[in-house]
């Protein structure tokens, strides 16, 4: 656990990446696995994760991401997109995967499936969209922590125009919506932000014990 705290103190939102340094395939596959293994509500993983390698796409995204240089300079660009109008079909698909993975008969999870549908599918679409969007932040958290352990920098970004990114990547047609961007790579030695003292609330101010 002491290493986790050291890693958390090491990481920061990198403002300038070294465009000459690339994350190895081995390390990036580790980061992908950390995202894949992330916790999610009911284990449903109601999102997709896009890895944008095409430089032309990244160039198109940069202007709608407030012109931030990280979009271009980072080794990798990740777009987290929540599934919109999530409902019975997606729940059934998850149940089928669970049954196959655990070697269960197809009807073994019907009761659990009916329960999930009663709690999820009955909600207004807007509420479901907010819920699925929140799940992407859990996946981002796993990415941040795994990357810090590997001494790989990640900058999470909400500073972009989701509707424009949706248009560029054709997400609306896929029933998806961009919720988060994450740039992955290595900090540039000229990035002054890395030398700033981390500012966080004290335990007394942050935690309330009842």
pLDDT tens, 39-89?
Answer: 999 999 999 999 999 999 999 999 999 999 999 999 999 999 999 999 999
154-175: pLDDT as tens digits: 999 999 999 999 999 999 999 9
| CA–CA separation, 39 and 135 (whole Å) | 8
The domains found in the chain, sorted by start residue, are: 2-206 (3.40.109.10)
The total of other beta-carbon atoms located within 10 Å of residue 174's CB is 13
> If you average pLDDT over residues 103-131, what whole number do you get?
97
Say what the pLDDT of residue 2 is.
78
Question: How does pLDDT run across 173-195, given as a tens digit for each residue?
Answer: 999 999 999 999 999 999 999 99
pLDDT of the residue at 106: 81
Give the pLDDT score at 138: 98
Name the nearest CA neighbour of 112 among 126, 96, 131. Answer: 96
Model pTM score: 0.96
Average pLDDT of the chain to the nearest whole number:
97
State residue 193's pLDDT score. Answer: 97
pLDDT > 70: percent of the chain = 100
Q: How many CB atoms lie within 10 A of CB 99?
A: 16
pLDDT tens digit sequence for 75-110: 999 999 999 999 999 999 999 999 999 999 989 999
Flag whether pLDDT at 23 surpasses 70. Answer: yes
Would residue 85 be called left, alpha or beta, if left means φ above 0 and alpha means ψ between -120 and 50 degrees? left
- pLDDT band for position 1 (cuts 50, 70, 90): low
* Spatial distance between the Cα atoms of 146 and 4, rounded to a whole number of angstroms: 10
């Amino acid at each position: 656990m002491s290493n986790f705290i050291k890693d958390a103190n090491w990481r920061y939102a990198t403002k300038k990446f070294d465009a000459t340094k690339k994350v190895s395939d081995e390390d990036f596959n580790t980061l992908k696995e950390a995202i894949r293994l992330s916790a999610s509500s009911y284990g449903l993983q109601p999102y997709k994760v896009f890895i944008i390698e095409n430089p032309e796409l990244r160039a198109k995204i940069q202007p709608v991401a407030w012109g931030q240089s990280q979009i271009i300079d980072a080794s990798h660009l990740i777009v987290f997109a929540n599934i919109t109008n999530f409902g019975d079909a997606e729940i059934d698909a998850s149940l089928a995967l669970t049954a196959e993975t655990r070697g269960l008969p197809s009807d073994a999870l019907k009761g659990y499936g009916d329960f999930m549908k009663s709690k999820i599918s009955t909600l207004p679409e807007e509420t479901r969209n907010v819920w699925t969007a929140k799940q992407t932040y859990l996946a981002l958290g796993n990415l941040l922590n795994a990357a810090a352990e590997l001494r790989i920098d990640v900058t999470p970004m909400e500073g972009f125009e989701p509707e424009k990114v949706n248009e560029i990547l054709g997400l609306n047609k896929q029933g998806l919506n961009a919720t988060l961007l994450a740039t992955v790579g290595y900090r540039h030695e000229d990035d002054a932000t890395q030398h700033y003292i981390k500012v966080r609330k004290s335990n007394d101010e942050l935690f309330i014990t009842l």
